[in-house]
Amino acid sequence: MSADVLGGSSVDSMGQADAGAETARVRRWWTAAGAVVVALGVALRVQSPSALWLDEAISVSISGLPLREINEALRQDGAPPLYALLLWGWQRLVGDTVVDVRLLSALFGVAALPVAAVAGARLAGRAGGVAALLLFATSPFAVYYSTEARMYSLVVLLVLCGFLVLDDYLRRPSAARGALLAVVTATLALSHYWSLFLIAVVGGGLLVRARRTRSTVDARAAAWMAAGGLLFLPWLPTFLFQLEHTGTPWGTPAGFTAVLTTVYEWSGGTGTAPRLLAMVLLLLAGVGATATAVSGPRLELDLRGRPPGRGLALVVLATLVLALAVGQLTHAAFAPRYTSVVLPLFLLLAAVGIARLSRSVGTPVLVLAVAAGLTSAVPNAFYTGKTQAAMVAQALRAEALPGDVVVYCPDQLGPATSRLLPSSLRQETYPTGRSPARVDWTDYEQRNRGADPVAFARKVSARAGDRAVWLVSNVGYRTYEGQCEALAQELTYMRGGPLELVEAEDQYFEPAQLRGWAPPPSPRT
Amino acid sequence: MRLVNAGRRAALAFGGTLVGGSLVIGAALWPVLGPLTQRTPLPAAARSTDAGVPVPESAHRCAVQDATAVGSVRWCLPGGVSVRTVEKWYDDVLPAGRDSGRLRWCVEQRLDDGSRRALWSTEAGLVGYVLPPEPPQPNHRATDNSVEVVVLSGSSCHPVTRVNRGQA
């Protein structure tokens, strides 16, 4: 995954003709335009108009716990610890409002920009550095996850750092650089488990090359990466527990076509601009991986690939295929956000592609990619439809009275909404009756399949007594098929027809409906 | 990185790509930004409907009505009036959450298309208005530039509402 590992070639060495004397004035304009684009990219990363959705709310809830309780909370959650610990410190240092907690991700996202520029320059000279900087600054995916209180912008940053550290080690091996490589490898593994696929592919690639070229440096680099596993050891018991008991019961594995659709996700999803960006990025990635010579508008391609782009392309592809294959085997769900472990390498590959093109072609293509990227990134950054939780909470604050019972079915609707409600309401989740602040994913499917919504409704109605019962729910959640509706039906039987206060809106990523049941005229529980 | 050639060609290329890029961005963002640029004011003058719910004086009965919503009437607003302007108008004239004359406050609901329904109790049933969702709301059923005056004859305010539980 490094420039050196993949052949030590840089685009500067391809013999592109120097364009000759440029007027200083025009150059200044280009520099100013580039600076404006980067500034826009930074500004977009500090937007946070939406309420926290499920995953973010869980992160914030876990990091709000005392330090000694975080391990247990993460065991139930299924996530690795690094981001939770960083957010734990951040919340105490800066605060725990929506803006505060998302600012940490923005910080990682902004920090990734200069690192991307250095990585791009190392791969493809100055042109590659500028292209990488602009592609990262305007990447809709990188922008979006810099505004989300999750670990994905940290992962992007760490992958870029890992690229540079590995490249450093391969150019000038030393124990200090090796130790740094081990640390970065461990931090990646402790940030998101999909990093393990990337680490396996890169480590495996190094070993294959070491065997083929009899390079001890490659083998030692792989050994340092493996040594990073020592830092993972303290976490291993929790990891093994999570592997056995938590998983991703909320979703299903993806097919291998997800490799292609992922590029659309990186480009901002659906719409004209994201499609255009995806096509441009795929084209650039192809050029970056295969272009061998350029002469004006003419380009020669070597379908066997050419360093350093070939290696980047192989790592991206192999990591995605490995992750999807493991997902198929273990029935683990796929979410596009997990691909943040390879997005940085893909964008670096596209930057190499830009640098491969002649200046007269590369410049308009880069401008097109930047314009399409910004066009897709702006609506994403200002997206207010992550969750309907704020609307539900507002309605509850308007109509619920102290002592009313709020039930969440499924429990996955609890974290985002419950944090916005006053403590005077009694809140619980179906089917466990526990606090809605987090989701306990332990043996989730087994537990939910065996739940009894009618019995739960009777108990909750009895507990509510002469107070109202409010149900925050939605259909379509795996492992809950029909249960939330059965719960609502039983409440209706006991308390009469509900008031539909908030209807679920499909335009939200996390829709929810809110219904309320008045106290029964005469208890039938 | 030296991205351009010297002289006029470079300047032209710079200007061209900048203008082109701006056009692409502007065209793509127009659906979002367009509605926000609507500034047509809405005078405070109101006209009362049969249901007793006021609508802006400049509103007129829409040519197309929902035949399934018995008693409800859709009122179309002049072009250029934004949803926010209509919301502000109702905040001033008949704000949700308060009684007004013979209208007793009942409840505000959010519908699945993003619209907001405010209901008051009368002797005949529930009446109120439905404000369209703020843009962008791709799945809104009706034209955004209208207000629906709803009449739910014979209905009463649900007992779970705060007003019916003695704590308005």
Whole-number pLDDT of residue A417: 97
B161 to chain A: which residues are within 8 Å by CB? 399, 499
Helix axes A175-189, A152-171, angle to 10 degrees: 160
CA distance B79 to chain A (A): 25
Q: Flag whether residue A363 sits within 8 Å of chain B, measured between CB atoms.
A: yes
Angle at alpha carbon of residue A385, lines to B40 and A486, rounded to 5°: 125
Residue of B nearest to A131 (CA): B1
Is residue A80 within 8 Å of residue A127, measured between CB atoms? no
Per-domain residue ranges for chain B?
A: 1-33, 41-165
Q: Using the beta-carbon criterion (under 8 Å), do A499 and B28 form an inter-chain contact?
A: no
The number of beta carbons lying within 10 Å of the beta carbon of residue A17 is 10
User: Terminal CA-to-CA distance of chain A, rounded, Å?
Assistant: 65
**CA proximity to A345, closest of A367, A324, A373, A314:** A314
Q: Flag whether residue A367 sits within 8 Å of chain B, measured between CB atoms.
A: yes
Q: Flag whether residue B12 sits within 8 Å of chain A, measured between CB atoms.
A: no
Q: Is the dihedral of CA A172, A176, A180, A186 positive or negative?
A: positive
Rounded to whole angstroms, what are the CA distances from A142 to A109, A133, A282, B21, B74? Answer: 7, 12, 17, 20, 44
- Comparing CB atoms, the residue among A22, A130, A378 nearest residue B5 is A22
Q: Using the beta-carbon criterion (under 8 Å), do B20 and A367 form an inter-chain contact?
A: yes
Which residues fall within 8 angstroms of residue A226, CB to CB, at 6 or more apart? A203
- Measured distance CA(A225)–CA(A185) in Å, rounded: 6
Is residue A159 within 8 Å of residue A344, measured between CB atoms? yes
Whole-number pLDDT of residue A269: 85
pLDDT per 10-residue tile (average), chain A, 525 residues: 41 46 75 92 90 96 96 95 98 95 97 98 95 97 96 98 97 97 98 96 96 92 95 95 84 82 90 93 94 77 86 96 92 91 97 91 92 90 90 96 97 97 96 95 91 96 96 94 96 96 94 95 55
- Measured distance CA(A262)–CA(A282) in Å, rounded: 11
Q: What is the pTM of this model?
A: 0.88
Say what the ipTM of the complex is. Answer: 0.80
- Residue B124, pLDDT > 90, answer no
Whole-number pLDDT of residue A5: 37
Pairing state of beta strands B104-110 and A405-409? unpaired
The number of beta carbons lying within 10 Å of the beta carbon of residue A6 is 24
Mean pLDDT of B33-59: 79
Helices marked H in A138-194 — which ranges?
Answer: 140-146, 152-171, 175-189
* Burial classification of residue A458, based on how many CB atoms lie within 10 Å of its CB (0-12 exposed, 13-18 middle, 19 or more buried): middle
Whole-number pLDDT of residue A8: 39
Whole-number pLDDT of residue A3: 44
Phi-psi region of A305 (alpha: psi -120 to 50; beta: other; left: phi over 0): left
Phi, psi at residue A517, to the nearest 5°?
Answer: -115, 130
- Residue B3, pLDDT > 50, answer no
CA distance B3 to chain A (A): 6
- Comparing CB atoms, the residue among A19, A127, A517 nearest residue B160 is A517
Label residue B2 by pLDDT band (50, 70, 90). very low
Whole-number pLDDT of residue B141: 42
Q: Using the beta-carbon criterion (under 8 Å), do B25 and A374 form an inter-chain contact?
A: yes
HSE-CB for A123 with a 13 A CA cutoff? 41
Q: Flag whether residue B168 sits within 8 Å of chain A, measured between CB atoms.
A: no
Q: Using the beta-carbon criterion (under 8 Å), do B4 and A272 form an inter-chain contact?
A: no
Whole-number pLDDT of residue B28: 60
What 3-state DSSP class applies to A231?
Answer: helix
The number of beta carbons lying within 10 Å of the beta carbon of residue A61 is 22
Whole-number pLDDT of residue A251: 76
Whole-number pLDDT of residue A299: 81
Whole-number pLDDT of residue A6: 38
Q: If contacts are CB pairs under 8 Å, which of residues 225-284 in chain A contact chain B?
A: 271-273
Whole-number pLDDT of residue B44: 80
Whole-number pLDDT of residue B143: 47
Whole-number pLDDT of residue A10: 43
Q: Flag whether residue A110 sits within 8 Å of chain B, measured between CB atoms.
A: no
Is residue A30 within 8 Å of residue A131, measured between CB atoms? no
- In DSSP terms, which residues pair with B152 in a beta bridge? B126
Q: Using the beta-carbon criterion (under 8 Å), do A499 and B32 form an inter-chain contact?
A: no
- Comparing CB atoms, the residue among B28, B114, B161 nearest residue A505 is B114
C-alpha R_g of chain A: 25
Distance of CA A47 to the CA centre of its chain: 16
Label residue B25 by pLDDT band (50, 70, 90). low
- Measured distance CA(B157)–CA(A501) in Å, rounded: 12
Token pair, residue A317, equals 């592809």
Tokens 């091996």: give the residue.
Answer: A173
**CA proximity to A195, closest of A87, A82, A295:** A82
